[in-house]
Amino acid sequence: MELPSKILIGNKIIPDLGNFLNDLNVKNNVLVVSGSNIKHNLEDQIVTSLTQSKINYVWKEIDAATSKIADDVSKMAINLKSSIILGIGGGKSIDTAKLASFNSKMRFVSVPTSASHDGIASPFASIKGSDRPYSLIARPPVGIFADINIISSAPSKLLSSGCGDLIAKMTAVKDWELAHNYTNEPFRKYAASLAYMSSQILFDQSLTFTRQKTDHVRDIVEALISAGVAAGIAGTSRPCSGSEHLISHALDLIAPGKGLHGEKCGIATILMAKLHGLDWQNIKLVLKKLGCPTTIKEIGVTDEQLFEAIRIAPDIRKDRFTILHKLRLQKQEIEDLISTTNLN
């Protein structure tokens, strides 16, 4: 079990990044990984903080999260004899830094600039170009540094994605429990409870949610971190990823580029909640109040594409038992499920 040893969450804390790294005993050659936009917007503040803390660094810009780029970052870190890899940005930068640190056996610090997914703290990385459409085993960060002011200024679409990824924990936990009952798969009650609790924050937030209030954003960031930690405790993505994620991964194959990961997970959670006998209407209402898409039209997916995604979802991971593996829905049942939940 590997868990973050230091987490700092606050408003306008970027000037403290260097001190944060010093507290982690970082001495030299920090490899900073980010996209070009993050480098353009935050480089001056980050460089000032690192310089004042007497930390040497090299900045690596990336444009995608692929296996090749992660390998390149890993080799670069080894050649530089880096003390740590710093992933700054959204899923692309954090996942690349995370996998590169795993491959190079180096420590990794997560500096999210948006709250779009639970990969902020999880030991899994979503990488394109691999032979698997789902996440790869990587390693969790030793530290998480989250500036709420920066995260709050990210496009609202990214926060909606984070909310969708959080609500997905409801059906993910139910799928995990189902697998335990039907296949005797090990079930970790504490990890499941932590992930489920992380999803429940959305039901409270939806009552008063506005994106101008950083307190709400902080709660969502903390919940995403908690969900990622739950996966670390469990040693598996089970508490965070179930049948709803399989549908999202299937849509990645069938309708690439349509909708963000968390948006698709949120919509798929509505479907899977109905199959599990949960209050899917309330889940849909909460997502809508939070500004998340609750129909496939909003993310540019057609009825036919969603139908096909549900159909092939169980084959995405044949090793993982979910409600879709149990029911093996037929054509009319899938059509009825989409129609009943009014997702089109």
Torsion angles phi and psi, residue 151, rounded to 5: -60, -40
Tell me, what's the pLDDT at 199?
Answer: 96
Q: What is the mean pLDDT of residues 213-241?
A: 91
Q: Three-state SS for 52?
A: helix
Q: For residue 168, what are the CA distances in angstroms to 45, 105, 341?
A: 35, 31, 16
Residue 271 has pLDDT above 70, yes or no: yes
Instruction: Tell me, yes or no, if the pTM score tops 0.85.
Output: yes
Give the pLDDT confidence of 29-61 residue by residue, as tens digits: 899 999 999 999 999 999 999 999 999 999 999
Residue 97 has pLDDT above 60, yes or no: yes
Q: What is the mean pLDDT of residues 214-242?
A: 92
Please tell me the CATH code under which domain 6-152 is placed.
Answer: 3.40.50.1970
Cβ-Cβ contacts under 8 Å for 130 (sequence gap 6 or more): 67, 136
Q: Kindly state the tokens that stand for 313.
A: 């979802």
DSSP per position, 252-293: HHHSTTSS-HHHHHHHHHHHHHHHHT--HHHHHHHHHHTT--
Residue 338: band (very low, low, confident or very high) from pLDDT cuts 50, 70, 90:
very high
Q: Three-state SS for 128?
A: strand
Average pLDDT of the chain?
93
Nearest to 107 by CA among 35, 24, 46: 24
Residue 212: band (very low, low, confident or very high) from pLDDT cuts 50, 70, 90:
low
Distance, in Å, from the CA atom of 267 to the CA atom of 296, rounded to the nearest integer, reads 7
Q: Which range, 123-137, 214-228, 318-332, has the best average confidence (pLDDT)?
A: 318-332
Task: Find the helix or strand (DSSP H, E) in which 204 lies.
Answer: helix 189-205
Task: Indicate the class that CATH gives domain 156-340.
Answer: mainly alpha
Q: What are the structural domain ranges in the chain?
A: 6-152, 156-340
Q: Kindly state the tokens that stand for 215.
A: 């307190």
Identity (one letter) of the amino acid at 89? G
